[in-house]
Amino acid sequence: MTAISNVNTLECVGIPLQGTVALVTGGSRGIGHAIARKLASLGAGVSICGRDANALAKSENGIRELGHSVLSQIADVTKASDVESLVKTTEEKLGPISILVNNAGIGRFGPVQDKSEEEWDLVLNTNLKSVFLVSRAVVPSMIRQHKGDIINISSLAGKNTFAGGGIYCASKWGVQGLTGCMAEDLRGHGIRVSAVCPGSVATEFSGRGTKDPKKVLSPDDVAHAVATLVLQGPQSFISEVHLRPLIKP
């Protein structure tokens, strides 16, 4: 892990998150990598996880080469034992987690009658169960700190329906409900729980076909929204962010 040097105060220009620790799930590529890179550039010590060892190592190296603190771990965030190990290792090596970005996600699309039970379990476990498991593991430390930001990467598919989106929409509507309830449970402890709902993003994500790159968001657009949430004033609570491409697809 590479330390950031020449840091004297939290107010140093460009490093407002100095001294904080962020955990980003699904941080090996796409949106997760962009978020991890952004938080690291703002001074946070960042822990990323994923299931693809090669992609995870590439993401870690890319962040470290920019001179930022980063720790990567292979973990399946649909499994409680992996999550417990992930959180324990992060806190042992970097410190208490004050920022959690639940980004791990997957998509399977098509009419419900054509989908299998295995596909349902895969999408719901990855997109929804993981948010529950990782948040549950991180929240006790945030309560002790009486502060924290939990940001769940949802989707506009969590607000709208479309043909072929049954399983995916079900998972993201679940994320919306879980996020809202967690926010009410935890705001009294100084913890903000927010949802970021992007539209189409140019990533390797298993989507619904090729999109015009000029008519979709970039991973950095989502990372910018996450940064806005964690940098808001301590008395402020932005509960939900909707991101759309400026030009309609």
Q: Which amino acid is at 36?
A: A
Give the C-alpha separation, 68 to 188, whole Å: 33
Residues forming a β-bridge with 197: 242
Provide the token pair at 49.
Answer: 């996880």
Q: Which residues of 148-171 are buried (b: 16+ CB within 10 A; e: fewer)?
A: bbbbbbbbbbbeeeeeebbbbbbb
Provide the token pair at 177.
Answer: 């409900």
Catalytic residue among 42, 168, 201, 230: 168
> Would you call 168 a catalytic residue per the annotation?
yes
Catalytically active residues, by annotation: 168
